[in-house]
Structure 1
């Protein structure tokens, strides 16, 4: 992207639209069972992030030792953090059985988020709505299944829709709101929160990088002198984005655990 800008004929400066990168042109399109599918750059980056995650998990769990090596220590650290810091603390002692599910979500989202600062990638697949939506729908189906398994179908549907301790007349208003909130709004906000943060982070990094390139390409000496400041800000924003990427993976996993706990216990 930057190389293309530097190659632009002087004095013009044709910067690409950063938002357009989340809707890239298809690399390959095909039809399967009457449905149209397309593979684009974000798809490839998602495959690459998944491959990196798979290699990391296999390397971390291969030939485990009592005194762990660096990769085994990192893998156990991720799992232990989610098991003790989220599954056990949020769901309770019974939450340990959900730790593999939650830990998988955490590392999967984290590796995909990190594509936003990965060299030559510089864009997170989670910044496009498709992937966060699919992840949120998986969480939705999972906590519905947990609720039905732990409470039974009838009790789960009752606890899903009815708020205890309110006047009967209020149920006319509250039942639709409860169903809307738990089955529609929850997955929507869960996905949009991840999408918005990854999208905004990419835009900020692009603004500072393109700003530095723009100032460097201008004839005014003052702009050339100030251009390193923009690149330094881009570097600082990269470290800030690393923190946000990790935090958003944690927040998504934490909220998923909260919804699972509610479904498992039948609480409101």
Structure 2
């Protein structure tokens, strides 16, 4: 078969601007409010999240049905299986708003990766994962500082009691790095890496389908194989969409729990 193969390009998605394409509002305030396609996807999914929950709880009924019922089941899942499971009932309810916000924001942003026309998660670029990680990080710091006072919280987090004094020279820097630097960095990088890798794999599979179908006459049948692989990987991405939101929110809850019991090394 004769046709034209279009090689995939990731640069316009991740490095927009003068080199790779026009951005909306790039001439406003020296580009401070410039929006590329990925930012528009991010804003769209944020709007969808707000609209879904606004519609679900705009007129709550004692016996829920429809969208309210789905939303309550989802919130109960976060409350029971993440917040209260890790923090206990009292602290779980206290920190449920931030944990649920992080979970549903991550979930909706992840979902864009399999929506036709969007085809990419805003979490595939580091900005959104950093925002979510900072939200979890500040909550962790707040939880410990509120219980112990900031100074005592930091000391309790990094100083392990009953160690020989000489070992503190080694252990304290490790604990500072692990607790106050590594936690938010790994939260952000884990989320970004999963969806960047997923996006690249899907691009390669669909591009291979395009290539085999249009360019290699003797290998056209392979287009069916790569198409099937792309569909199966898309189904796998559906699992990852939920799993990464769950892991992110779960780790935030774990870090909050560690802050609340910083003196219990």
Task: Tell me whether the two structures share a fold, i.e. TM-score over 0.5.
Answer: yes
Q: Kindly indicate whether the alpha-carbon contact (under 8 Å) linking 2:8 and 2:203 is maintained by their aligned counterparts in 1.
A: no
SS at match of 2:26: strand
Counterpart of 1:155? 152
Asked if the contact 1:28–1:40 (Cα under 8 Å) also holds between the matched residues in 2, the reply is no
| Residue pair 2:5, 2:210 contacting (<8 A) in 1 also | no
Q: Write the mapping of 1:34-45 to structure 2, written as runs, cut at 5 A.
A: 36-45=32-41
- 1:62 alignment counterpart: 58
Given the two structures, how large is their TM-score scaled by the length of structure 2?
0.91
CA displacement 1:180-224 (0-9 Å, x = unmatched): 11111111111000000000111111111111111111251x422
Confirm or deny: 8 A CA contact 1:83 1:96 kept in the other structure.
yes
* Mean CA deviation greater in 158-167 or 51-60: 158-167
The 3 A distance-change label for structure 1 pair 234 and 133 is same
Task: Give every structure 1 segment of 4 or more consecutive aligned residues whose post-TM-superposition deviation is greater than 4 Å.
Answer: 34-37
CA deviations on 1:81-125 (whole Å, 9 max, x unpaired) are 111001111111222211121111111011001111111000110
Q: Which runs of 5+ in 2 are unaligned?
A: 18-22
Aligned match of 1:179: 176
TM-score, normalising length: structure 1: 0.90
Matched, 1:116 2:108: no
Structure 1 gaps, min length 5: 1-9
User: Which digits, 9 at most, give the CA deviation of each residue in 1:229-253, with x for residues without a partner?
Assistant: 2111111111100101110011000
Tell me how many residue pairs correspond in the alignment. 257
Q: 1:24 aligns with which of 8, 16, 26?
A: 16
Greater shift in the superposed pair: 161-170 or 75-84: 161-170
Equivalent runs, 1:66-215 vs 2, <5 Å: 66-93=62-89, 94-215=91-212
Which residue in 2 is equivalent to 1:241? Answer: 237
Q: Secondary structure at the match of 1:28?
A: coil
CA RMSD of aligned residues (A): 1.8
For residue 34 of structure 2, give the secondary structure of its aligned residue in structure 1.
Answer: strand
- Assess if the C-alpha contact under 8 Å between 2:112 and 2:120 holds in 1: yes
